[in-house]
Amino acid sequence: MTVATETDRLDQLIAEQEAVFLERQPRSRKLLERASGSLAGGVTSSWQIAKPQAVWISHGAGSKVWDADGNRYVDLHGGYGVMLVGHANPSIVDAVRAQVTRGSHFAQPTELAIDVAEELVRRFGLPLWRFGNSGTEATMDAIHLMRAITGRDLIVKVEGCYHGHHDSVQVSVYPELDEVGPPERPASVPASSGIPSAVTDLVVVVPYNDLDALERALDEHRGEVAGMILEPVMMNAGIIPPLPGYLDGIRELTRRHGALLAFDEVKTGLTVGPGGATRLYGVTPDLVCLAKAMGGGVAAAAIGGSQEVMDHITRGDYEQVGTFNGNPLALAAARAALYEVLTPATYERLDRLRALMAAGCQRVLGATGLAAHAVTVGAKGCVTFSAEPVRNFRQFAAIDDRYSHLHWLYQHNGGVFLPPWGKAEQWLLSAQHTEDDVAPFVANFETFASTLTGGRVTGGPVVPASPMDAGGRDGRR
Ligand SMILES: Cc1ncc(COP(=O)(O)O)c(C=O)c1O
């Protein structure tokens, strides 16, 4: 089938699969109608809205979730990358149950905080930590610290990286291609209404994987840049790995310009390996931001920093605060996740599953000729619907969204739950997934790809590993 007829079929197949989707979830439709009377938009976060309708969840267990209509799914959504421990993991359930009977909140430090911080020191190699409740809080503290320490106002941010919903990072997150400006000097585009231009003007935007552009930006704003924040592996644009030497280059350039460096590891931390991208790629920033998987399924976040950076908190030059910081329920779950669930054996198992997912995708793509490739790193992976590897936001943004939406629908209707926001998101495996969970994903992918291309899958040999495995330096993971 030619590309023209393939793209023509996308709309027709999307309409068919959306009809199947709605038919399978009549109770969810009723819940959405009821919710619209009391919840703005009928959901609790705007990114829970999906086409053709939000998925209403009843419960989860192990690697599975059930929707409000009783349909069971292999869960590869993982609550937007949180559920690395899997659902209702016995270690987490026991830890939270034990803690809630001893009191759920004191706003005073508990011994749990030391246990969790000590393990984060071991894993990420940064000596001092503080806790918060969300990724947004973690990156907000990182930005505040970089400005407080340097006395400078400008922040360098990568086009297409998402760091939460506070003002300073709500810039050029998913800008329209007609407003982004020249590739080597991207415009600073507010990510939503409500972001003052005075704040946007303080954010210098650079393309990912481009050290020349970064050097130029730092030279142009010599002595004005407080620091740079980035996702070391871009994970709000599918998965875009750093090119060899990119993270080292950033480390060197920021140091040379007296600017600090923050890795936003809200998505990568713990999921790409035990010590996040920091350990995977062997580049240590001044600050690391964690959230999502760190809490073992409960809301928790952390910032870790060098002695020099965190001394500003110790001395009280910057007050890192929050009523729920170090909440004992969250830290009981985090401690169980770190010490009992996310063990070396778990990471080995996750790596085996990662390779199976990648090989399954590659076999189907080889057999159908669909122009796409799988990108995997640790427990995370995605199918990118372009023949060529994607290196930055603009290449990613140019990909036709309909492919990932149709893929999502085929997976969903076939009992596998991927994150609803199509091409921007990626799958998450968990400590409770097994090979039996990989099989339905690959089968659905095969149905999707062969239906779309009109070809027949011949069941060719499984190739061992994806060439787009984004494993770290020297293949270390
Ligand atoms: C890389 C990254 N940083 C920060 C955040 C914000 O985290 P939260 O939604 O917990 O505020 C997200 C959320 O998706 C993220 O992907």
Instruction: Please name the residue whose Cα sits nearest to atom 8 of ligand 1.
Output: 135
- For residue 80, the ligand 1 atom closest to its alpha carbon is 14
Q: Which residue has the CA at smallest separation from atom 14 of ligand 1?
A: 164
Contact 429, 353 (CB under 8 A): yes
Catalytic residue among 162, 246, 318, 410, which? 162
Largest CA distance in the chain: 66
Atom of ligand 1 nearest to the CA of 133: 10
Q: Residues 292, 318, 423, 469: which is the catalytic one?
A: 292
The alpha carbons of the chain give a radius of gyration, in whole angstroms, of 22
Most informative mutation of 136, 140, 239 for ligand 1 (most atoms within 8 A of CB): 136
Ligand 1 test: best mutation among 133, 158, 162, most atoms within 8 Å of CB? 162
Q: Is 292 labeled as catalytic in the residue annotation? A: yes
Cα–ligand 1 centroid distance for 135 (angstroms): 5
The pLDDT tens digits along the chain (477 residues) read 555 577 789 999 999 999 999 999 999 999 999 999 999 999 999 999 999 999 999 999 999 999 999 999 999 999 999 999 999 999 999 999 999 999 999 999 999 999 999 999 999 999 999 999 999 999 999 999 999 999 999 999 999 999 999 999 999 999 999 999 999 899 999 999 999 999 999 999 999 999 999 999 999 999 999 999 999 999 999 999 999 999 999 999 999 999 999 999 999 999 999 999 999 999 999 999 999 999 999 999 999 999 999 999 999 999 999 999 999 999 999 999 999 999 999 999 999 999 999 999 999 999 999 999 999 999 999 999 999 999 999 999 999 999 999 999 999 999 999 999 779 999 999 999 999 999 999 999 999 999 999 864 544 433 333 445 666 554 333
The ligand 1 atom nearest the CA atom of 236: 16
Q: Do the beta carbons of residue 378 and residue 433 sit within 8 Å? A: no
Work out the angle at residue 121's Cα, subtended by the Cα atoms of residues 283 and 137, and round it to the nearest 5 degrees: 85
**Is 264 annotated in the active site?**
yes
Atom of ligand 1 nearest to the CA of 134: 10
Q: Can you read off the two tokens belonging to residue 115?
A: 């246990």
For residue 263, the CA-to-ligand 1 centroid distance in Å is 12
Q: What spacing in Å lies between the alpha carbon of 134 and ligand 1's midpoint? A: 7
Active site (annotated) includes residue 80 = no
Q: How many angstroms does the Cα of residue 464 sit away from the middle of ligand 1?
A: 32
Q: pTM for the complete prediction?
A: 0.95
What is the CA(461)–ligand 1 centre distance, in A? 38
- 453 CA from centroid of ligand 1 (Å): 35
Which residue ranges have their beta carbon within 6 Å of ligand 1? Answer: 80, 134-136, 139, 162-164, 231, 236, 264, 266-267, 291
Confirm if 272 and 279 have CB atoms less than 8 A apart: no
Question: How much distance in Å is there from the Cα of 89 to the middle of ligand 1?
Answer: 23
